């Protein structure tokens, strides 16, 4: 059984076991090519806030601008929806050269050391009277809980799979993980908490933090760092990914991360990503 590593993580396409969508690059004129001196080609989703969009509003967009300025390079995007094939086709297919949010140690890429660590969170309204900090809280059996769901058999998001281990099944309310032409939005699950459609939601932290910051109703975010009952991981290290053989590019990106640590930390805080301390294993990760 495979676990979904959230969308940024990549919400992770092949590594995370996402449903294939057959999505094509948003810009048909993009063609595979070798890296060009003076050009920074970034893989990005055109509609995937808080990480990226084609309006330049996402965390990755801001990070890409900082990187392009540091390297005195022209910033170019290969717009490719984050689904199965994002790394295998967009990155390794040479449509682009850099994926700015990749799971540390991803088999399909060479990754830098992780530059942030985040986790799923339990999200609820501050005025709800709830005080839930653990998936083992028995109150969860009596509440409407929002979780992101996938369509593939035996594959789902960590919260959806873990809750069955806690005896919580019939009261889960499913939400789409991605934008769809039917009008579904990733932020719908956060809005459901705000609008009291659900009592709480268990969501990937960066998504929750970004959309919660604009809520007129104060919200509580409690990090789910681990779940000893199900054994499913809820916290993940995020790095920058390149093609596996391009270790020189990876090392240059690592130097960028090292020298711009304070700026990147400020950017993470500006997007309200809940952050966990880097572990010793995290610090040594990457370089695959």
Q: Based on the domain organization, do 142 and 161 belong to the same domain?
A: yes
Give Cα 80 to chain centroid, integer Å: 15
Q: Based on the domain organization, do 128 and 220 belong to the same domain?
A: yes
Q: What is the pLDDT of residues 10-42, one digit of tens each?
A: 443 332 322 223 333 334 345 656 566 788 999
Position 231 in a domain: no
Using the 3D structure, point to which of 199, 224, 249 is the last residue of a domain: 224
Question: Distance between CA atoms of 150 and 119, rounded to whole angstroms?
Answer: 19
Q: Based on the domain organization, do 7 and 110 belong to the same domain?
A: yes
- pLDDT higher than 90, residue 240: yes
What's the token pair of residue 161? 């799979």
Position 230 in a domain: no
Residue 287: which of 71, 100, 107 has the closest Cα? 107
Q: Based on the domain organization, do 133 and 212 belong to the same domain?
A: yes
Using the 3D structure, point to which of 224, 245, 273 is the last residue of a domain: 224
What pLDDT shows up at residue 15? 29
Q: Based on the domain organization, do 112 and 123 belong to the same domain?
A: no
Question: Distance between CA atoms of 57 and 76, rounded to whole angstroms?
Answer: 15
Q: From the CB of residue 180, how many other CB atoms can be counted at a distance below 10 Å?
A: 11
Distances (CA, A) of 86 to 43, 93, 157: 8, 9, 18
Q: What is the pLDDT of residues 148-206, one digit of tens each?
A: 887 554 467 899 889 989 999 889 999 877 676 667 788 999 999 999 999 999 999 99
Q: From the CB of residue 77, how many other CB atoms can be counted at a distance below 10 Å?
A: 22
Q: What is the pLDDT of residues 89-138, one digit of tens each?
A: 888 888 899 999 999 988 889 999 999 999 999 999 999 999 999 999 99
Q: From the CB of residue 253, how many other CB atoms can be counted at a distance below 10 Å?
A: 24
Position 201 in a domain: yes
Q: Which residues contact 153 (CB under 8 A, 6 or more apart)?
A: none
Q: Based on the domain organization, do 128 and 182 belong to the same domain?
A: yes
Q: Based on the domain organization, do 107 and 205 belong to the same domain?
A: no
Using the 3D structure, point to which of 197, 224, 251 is the last residue of a domain: 224
Q: Based on the domain organization, do 187 and 82 belong to the same domain?
A: no
Instruction: Please report, for the domain that includes residue 193, its CATH number.
Output: 3.40.190.10
- For 167, the domain range is 119-224
3 state SS of 213 = coil
Q: From the CB of residue 18, how many other CB atoms can be counted at a distance below 10 Å?
A: 26
């Amino acid at each position: 059984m495979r676990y979904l590593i959230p969308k940024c993580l990549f919400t992770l396409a092949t590594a995370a076991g996402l449903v294939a969508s057959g999505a094509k690059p948003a810009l048909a004129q993009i063609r595979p090519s070798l890296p060009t001196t003076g050009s920074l080609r970034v893989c990005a989703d055109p509609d995937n806030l808080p990480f990226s969009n084609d309006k330049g509003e996402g965390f990755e967009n801001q990070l890409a601008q900082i990187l392009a300025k540091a390297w005195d390079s022209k910033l170019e995007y290969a717009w490719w929806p984050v689904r199965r094939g994002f790394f295998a086709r967009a990155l390794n297919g040479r449509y682009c050269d850099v994926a700015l949010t990749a799971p540390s140690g991803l088999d399909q890429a060479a990754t830098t050391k992780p530059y942030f660590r985040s986790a799923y969170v339990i999200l609820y309204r501050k005025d709800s009277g709830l005080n839930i900090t653990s998936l083992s809280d028995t109150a969860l059996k009596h509440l409407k809980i929002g979780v992101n769901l996938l369509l593939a058999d035996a594959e789902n998001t960590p919260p959806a799979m873990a809750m069955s281990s806690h005896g919580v099944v019939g009261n889960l309310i499913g939400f789409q993980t991605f934008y769809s032409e039917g009008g579904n939005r990733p932020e719908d699950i956060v809005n459901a908490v705000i609008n009291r459609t659900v009592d709480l939601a268990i969501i990937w932290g960066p998504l929750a933090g970004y959309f919660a910051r604009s809520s007129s109703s104060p919200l509580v975010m409690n990090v789910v760092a681990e779940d000893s009952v199900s054994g499913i991981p809820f916290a993940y290290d995020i790095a920058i990914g390149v093609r596996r053989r391009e270790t020189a590019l990876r090392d240059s990106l690592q130097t960028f991360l090292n020298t711009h640590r304070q700026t990147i930390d400020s950017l993470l805080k500006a997007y309200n990503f809940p952050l966990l301390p880097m572990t010793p294993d995290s610090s040594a990760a990457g370089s695959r």
